[in-house]
Amino acid sequence: MDILVSSLFAGLLIGMVLAMVALGLTIIFGVMEIVNFAHGEFLMVGMYTGLLTAQATGMEPLLTLPVAAAAGFLLGIICYFGFVKFVIRGPMVAQLLGTFGLMIFLRNLALLFFGAEDRAIHQGILVGKSFNIGMGVIAPATKLAAAALSVIAFWAVWLVINRTKIGKALTATSLNPQGARYMGISTERMNALAWGIGGGTVTIAGALLVNFWSVNPFIGLLFTMIAFAIVALGGFGSVSGAFFAGLAVGVITEIPGIWDFLTYIFNFGWMADVPMTSLKYMWVYLAYFVIMIVRPRGLFGWKR
């Protein structure tokens, strides 16, 4: 029973951080209908920003979030004005290939500056600490903090989008750009803001993740795929959908733990031989695939 409860708990914790990873992707898609293939690389930038800031200043790694957010926001704005603004005038395929090119560019830039080696945070107030919270659940302090901060950041972004004028302008731009322009909203600024918020949220997620996840220049692809799955599951453009789909995907990555639980319950020898941990991300992609066939607009999607 311990393994089942601890796996579900771990799934929900990581799910909260994964939701934060996918948030930026869904905002950018919601506002501009452009799929950012470089989303995982934005996350990588956030991870390196958190790691290097903590190492250079001796700051607690979790306190580097504002630096990572500022870096991500700037990166998003620069990408928009320097690149996306022009690509968006082209056909859909040009947009796809353009952000794909951005992905390769950022990855190789990281390779040039940081090398291919894995880097991880080994020092920090919370690093290596964990709490036994009963029912066999051991919660690593870094993951608890990352999950809690993710929820707070997610909630803050949700408030900005749903409760402020700027948020309403963003929503108007995503619903009907032409109509928004007629109402005096600068859609160009809103697009840039979407990229800024998208970049800022994913780099926050990166700075949270790096507390318990090592980083290298190639880490982005895994998270791009996971973020796509979350956005597809939650619905393209849906902020609340991204949150619940993030939790669902977090639990899906813990299927190996659920499988272990069933193995010990039924005690079938063949079940122990199934390499479930090797296949943990396969279930995420399978969910992505199924949702694309069964409900292409996702569980909470409104974009058609």
Partner 1 sequence: MKKLFLLTLAVCLVACWWITGSPVIAQAKTVKIGAIYPLTGGAAAAGRELKAGAELSAKIANNMMPGLDMDMAKNAGIKSLGGAKIKLIFKDHQANPTLGADLAKKLILDDKVDGMLGCYHSSVTKTVSAVCEQYGVPMINGTSTSPALTTRGFKWFWRTTPHDKWFTKDLFELLKGLTQGKVKGVKAVPEKEISNLASACEKTEWGSHVSSIIKSLAKEYGFNLRKSLLYTAKAPDLSSEVRSLKAARPDVMLFASYTSDAILLVKTLKAQKAKPKIIWGQDAGFEKPEFRSTLRDSIVGILTRTVFLPKVAQIKKVAGQVNALYKGKTGNDLGGASARAFTGVQTWVHILEKAGSTKPADIQRAANAIRIPGDQLVVPWAGIQFTPSGDELGQNVLGSGLIGQYQMVDGKLVLEIIYPFDVATADMIFPFKWF
Q: By the criterion CB under 8 A, which residues form the site for partner 1?
A: 2-3, 6-7, 10, 115-118, 120, 122, 128-130, 132, 138, 140, 142, 212-216, 219, 222, 253-254, 256-257, 260-261, 264, 272, 275-278, 280
Q: How far is the C-alpha of 224 from the C-alpha of 21, rounded, in Å?
A: 9
Residue with tokens 């199924």: 290
- Complex with partner 1: residue 14 or 28, whichever CB lies closer: 14
Please give the angle made by the CA atoms of 153, 158 and 163, to the nearest 5 degrees. 130
Please report how close the Cβ of residue 277 comes to partner 1 at its closest, in angstroms: 5
- Complex with partner 1: residue 7 or 36, whichever CB lies closer: 7
Please report how close the Cβ of residue 221 comes to partner 1 at its closest, in angstroms: 11
- Complex with partner 1: residue 120 or 166, whichever CB lies closer: 120
SS3 183: coil
Give per-residue burial for 12-37: e unless 16+ CB within 10 Å, then b.
bbbbbbbbbbbbbbbbbbbbbebbbb
- Complex with partner 1: residue 81 or 264, whichever CB lies closer: 264
Please report how close the Cβ of residue 140 comes to partner 1 at its closest, in angstroms: 4
- Complex with partner 1: residue 224 or 253, whichever CB lies closer: 253
Please report how close the Cβ of residue 243 comes to partner 1 at its closest, in angstroms: 21
Taking the alpha carbons at both ends of the chain, their separation in whole angstroms is: 42
Q: Which of 78, 15, 27 is nearest to 237 (CA)?
A: 27
